[in-house]
Amino acid sequence: MNSSRYDMNMKNLPNLIFALVMGCLMSLSITLATTLVRVGLAENFLRVWLEVWLVAYPVAIICILIYRPLASKISAWILTVLGRNQS
């Protein structure tokens, strides 16, 4: 394996791990809430929730990987604007 390619992949590892963890937490929370609203505490609640979460989790990971740089730039811009307004 090429050393520079390995180094580049290792630099991306924190972003991937963040996306996996954040995607899991967010998709579990959102699908729990929406499934609870849609079906209530039905007998098959856990099965329905798992089915929905299995679709939502990979989508959440992809969205985090795509949108994180844009969200960081927007956040930095907002903080800059807020800093200027406080003076």
Range of the domain at 64: 3-85
User: Which residues lie closer than 8 Å to 35 by C-beta, 6 or more apart?
Assistant: 45, 48, 49, 52
Position 84 scores a pLDDT of 72
pLDDT in tens, 16-33: 999 999 999 999 999 999
Number of domains in the chain: 1
pLDDT tier, 87 (very low <50, low <70, confident <90, very high otherwise): very low
DSSP 2-46: -HHHHHHHHHHHHHHHHHHHHHHHHHHHHHHHHHHHHH-S-TTHH
36-40 average pLDDT score: 94
The residue among 50 and 2 whose pLDDT is bigger is 50
- Is-above-0.85 flag for pTM? no
| pLDDT, averaged across the chain | 88
